[in-house]
Amino acid sequence: MQLQSTDPNLQTFWHVCGLDKDDERVMRAVRGYIQPLIPRLTDAFYEILATDPQTAPLIEGRVAQLKRTHIAWLESLFNGDYGAAFISRQRQIGAVHVRAKIPPTFVAASMSFLRGALPDVLAANVADKDGAKAATGTLLRLLDLCQFLIDRSYDGTLSDGLMNNLGISPALLARLQTAGKKF
């Protein structure tokens, strides 16, 4: 799997993350075990969202449609194709979340739920324990990649707003984002 991107931050993330051709094969190998379980996992996820006072209003009246979208997205993680179309789709998801004014906390909490739930699902349902272990590592890296790409939509909105409204240059904004507080 070769990353085709001129984005230096994405290149660094990809390099450090370590996704490769073997990860594509691993995810395709476990797809048949996991796909039938995704709707149940999605149901559990949306039950939790419905009980939280901040997320419940965001999903009210749209749960069925949101579940279909979530299931399709989860299934895409097991397709073994993480090229340009996959990356573009994660960015689109981020843009939709920003337009819908879904706070970034929602994305982080969602990914955390999946990082906690999916390794157990893989361990319990993939017969080959080495395959389940390999798939868990790949899946966790994919979830991190998805969160990185989705979160960047929020960064762009915040950065653009600061630069436009306050007259901050991109270089100054980058320095401000990395300025450490002295204790």
Q: The CATH number of the domain where 12 resides is what?
A: 1.10.490.10
In a domain, residue 20? The reply is yes
Is the pLDDT confidence value at 166 over 70? no
SS3 for 167? coil
Asked, for residue 2, whether it belongs to a domain, the answer is no
> What is the separation of C-alpha 158 from the centre of its chain, rounded to a whole number of angstroms?
19
User: Which range marks the domain in which residue 102 is found?
Assistant: 8-178
The C-alpha atoms of residue 108 and residue 55 are separated, in whole angstroms, by 12
Q: Could you tell me if residue 52 is inside a domain?
A: yes
Residue 3 lies inside a defined structural domain of this protein: no
Model confidence at 103: pLDDT above 80: yes
pLDDT tens-digit readout, 119-161:
999 999 999 999 999 999 999 999 999 999 999 888 765 545 5
In a domain, 45, yes or no: yes
- Give a yes or no: residue 183 inside a domain: no
**Would residue 58 count as lying in a domain?**
yes
Domain count, the chain: 1
Q: Which tens digits make up the pLDDT trace of 63-75?
A: 999 999 999 999 9
- Whether 155 maps to a domain, the answer reads yes
Quote the Cα angle for 45-48-53, to 5°.
Answer: 135
Give residue 176's pLDDT band: very low, low, confident or very high (50, 70, 90).
low
